[in-house]
Amino acid sequence: MENYYGYVGESTDWVSDKYLIVNNFGYSKNIDTTLTTYREKGRSDYQILYIHRGYGDFLIGNTMTRLNAGNIVIIYPGDKQFYVFPEKSCSDYYWIHFTGSEAGSMLAQLRLERGAYNTGEFYTFIDCMDKMAQANAVKDFTTETFLTAALLNLLSTVSKRIYIKDSPIHKVIEQMQKDNFGKMTVSEYAKMCGLTEYYFIRKFKQITGLTPHQYKTKITVNKAIEMLTDSNLNISEVAYMLGFEDSLYFSRMFKKETGMSPRNYIMSRSNQK
């Protein structure tokens, strides 16, 4: 199991009178032991949580509800918190705690009420977390502003994803998640939306925060990680099943996206067991 905590200040649960502040953020990946969070009186700040893989059981209202990958949970200050990621869920989840004098009104404007929302695979959340971690690694006078800007962009994108589900772009996203790497071209995706390639790419990035190629690559790498983790397939077999004729090209793409080759990824997973 891999955990990351990006502590921003000395305290991770506090209220700020500034416009918007990130208190803390982090993730847990490849969960192999039951993780339980229980806060009877909640916290003083807001939280947004994204389940990327696996599932968890969450207290939503007064009912325990199982939420699968592709769900986002928004928790308000003072809300009772109770959620569990079971040992066998093999889950990955990401979270951000934030506060600020305008946090509540901003969430209201974006129609992000407390509760759970199904967004499907949402790599923008992961990309945002990566950028926040990089900015937080070397703290300076720009860090706070960068984290706030990243959070604002993320929340806006979450709102768009939730409330523009019937748009042609969302249908393209669903198609991308079904296709293997490179099966459909950008031109074909653009035709699905009735747009030129230029305006399709522009519109796609406005909604997802990524270009179609970047988004498709992240989908493919995530599928590869799941196959390398949860099956006995070798690298060439995984590459072939994902639509790659050249396993070396697949390996180069995997390393560019994850920072390690598929072989090193498999070895690192073996060392964690």
pLDDT band at 177 (very low <50, low <70, confident <90, very high): confident
Is the pLDDT score of 33 beyond 80? Answer: yes
The topology under which CATH files domain 168-272 is: Arc Repressor Mutant, subunit A (1.10.10)
Tokens of 211: 């270009």
Closest CA to 123 of 55, 65, 177: 177
Average pLDDT score over the chain:
88
Amino acid present at 253: M
Residue 229: CB atoms within 10 Å = 13
38 or 258: which carries more pLDDT confidence?
38
Amino acid present at 232: N
The mean pLDDT value for 116-132 works out to: 88
Alpha carbon distance 44, 47 (integer Å): 10
Domain(s) labelled CATH 2.60.120.280 in the chain stretch across 2-163
111: left (phi over 0), alpha (psi -120 to 50) or beta: left
94 or 172: which carries more pLDDT confidence?
94
The mean pLDDT value for 175-202 works out to: 84
Is the pLDDT score of 94 beyond 90? Answer: yes
186-193 and 212-230 helices cross at what angle (nearest 10)? 110
Query: Considering only the top CATH level, what class is 2-163?
Result: mainly beta
pLDDT for 273:
54
Alpha carbon distance 250, 17 (integer Å): 48
Residue 231: CB atoms within 10 Å = 11
pLDDT for 268:
75
Alpha carbon distance 109, 155 (integer Å): 11
Alpha carbon distance 220, 262 (integer Å): 13
pLDDT band at 150 (very low <50, low <70, confident <90, very high): very high
Q: pTM score > 0.75 for this model?
A: no
Name the burial class of residue 203, with classes exposed (0-12), middle (13-18) and buried (19+) by CB atoms within 10 angstroms of its CB: middle
Is the pLDDT score of 165 beyond 70? Answer: no
The mean pLDDT value for 119-125 works out to: 85
Tokens of 183: 């099966």
Element (H, E) at 75: strand 71-75
Alpha carbon distance 86, 57 (integer Å): 8
Taking the CA atoms of 252, 3, 150 and 95 in sequence, report the sign of the dihedral they define: positive
Domain(s) labelled CATH 1.10.10.60 in the chain stretch across 168-272
Q: Which residues pair with 37 in a beta bridge?
A: 83
Is the pLDDT score of 153 beyond 60? Answer: yes
Q: What percent of the chain has pLDDT over 90?
A: 48
